[in-house]
Amino acid sequence: MSKPQRIPWHKLLGSALADALIGLPYSVSTEEELALRSQRLDVLIIEQAGALAANAQPAAERPDGLEDLAQHNLLSFKAADEPFNAFAAEELLSHAVTYRKVASLRALRVPAPDEDDTLAEPKERYRLLPAADFRCFAVTTRFPRQLVKQLLPGSCQKTEKPGIYHLRFGTQTFRLVVINQLDPHPRNAPWGLFATEETRWRAAFAAYHAHTDIGLHLRNLIAHFRLGDGHMAYTQDDMHREAREWLKGFLPELLPELDPEERLKGLTPEQRLKGLDPDVVLNRYDPEDRLKGLDPEFIEAWLAKWSTRH
């Protein structure tokens, strides 16, 4: 039996949130690198200054729990049977401390550095961005009962929305999103795609409305992982067409970086010559090379025909 395919839950959730927040001034990334040694944050949502689009959605249409995002929002996501336990909470707090330093150092850079430029913590003291600019989210499919039992009474408080809690852990308060408990409203379909209860994720899949190509691709991936290839929401031709359209946007930037051999790899001779002026192509060859492969009788017939005209 083949090894089960590992589902990239963090990337899928990041895509769902990127699509759900389209038109709002936030960017979404996944598995954000936070240290020299690999320490990846599951999902990061950052407010983009001055990026509010004209077609921004009203706050009421955001998925529950995302109504009042901070400037920097760190998400820990536990899918399927992964529990959000004390270790996961401690890890999220650790990521929050590290990321606050990283974000503060980035803010000190003038002008903005290249993305590949390595951050280095200065020896002298530097100002950290306000703690209020950062918010931590614990996103899990099931309610973390074992964790709540370990905390002081009253550490987990319900809100007016089902499935949304305030979770006090140490000196910090997380926003806890329990996907299997959320209101099954279409606005929560981006969350519901990741529910473990089949009736919930199927209802979310049916209600999910993609706002961008990212959302369309996400819906295809969810269909692939949860329904199988035989139940794709779109045909394979549709997926290939969308992939080609997506690639076209990058080609103008990527092509100059490729070697000529790489740019022509996979093209047939006919495709390579398409659109070229025959005279331009032929003039690059010596007369003898141009005649190679031609039937001598054809050459003689052409010469005879040409001589009669002149």
- Is 246 a domain residue? no
Q: What is the mean pLDDT of the chain?
A: 81
- Is 84 a domain residue? yes
User: Residue 274: what pLDDT?
Assistant: 77
Residues 274 and 229 grouped into a single domain: no
C-alpha 214/C-alpha 20 separation (Å) is: 10
List CB contacts of 91: < 8 A, sequence separation 6 or more: 76
Residues 174 and 43 grouped into a single domain: yes
127-173 pLDDT, tens digit each = 899 999 999 999 999 999 999 999 999 999 999 999 999 999 998 99
- Is 176 a domain residue? yes
Residues 137 and 217 grouped into a single domain: yes
Task: Find the mean pLDDT for residues 266-292.
Answer: 74
- Is 254 a domain residue? no
- Is 295 a domain residue? yes
- Is 181 a domain residue? yes
Residue range of the domain that includes 133? 9-112+124-234
Residues 280 and 140 grouped into a single domain: no
pTM passes above 0.75: no
Residues 44 and 102 grouped into a single domain: yes
Sheet with 40-47: strands ordered across: 26-33, 40-47, 72-78, 134-140, 172-178, 164-169, 156-158
Q: Which of 30-34, 69-73, 303-307 has the lowest mean pLDDT?
A: 303-307
Model confidence band, residue 55 (pLDDT cutoffs 50, 70, 90): very low
The better pLDDT of the pair 24, 213 is held by 24
- Is 241 a domain residue? no
Residues 230 and 276 grouped into a single domain: no
Among 234, 260, 291, residue at a domain's last position:
234
Q: Hey, what amino acid is at 87?
A: F
Q: Are 163 and 177 in contact (CB under 8 A)?
A: yes
Residues 15 and 106 grouped into a single domain: yes
Residues 197 and 297 grouped into a single domain: no
Domains held by the chain: number? 2
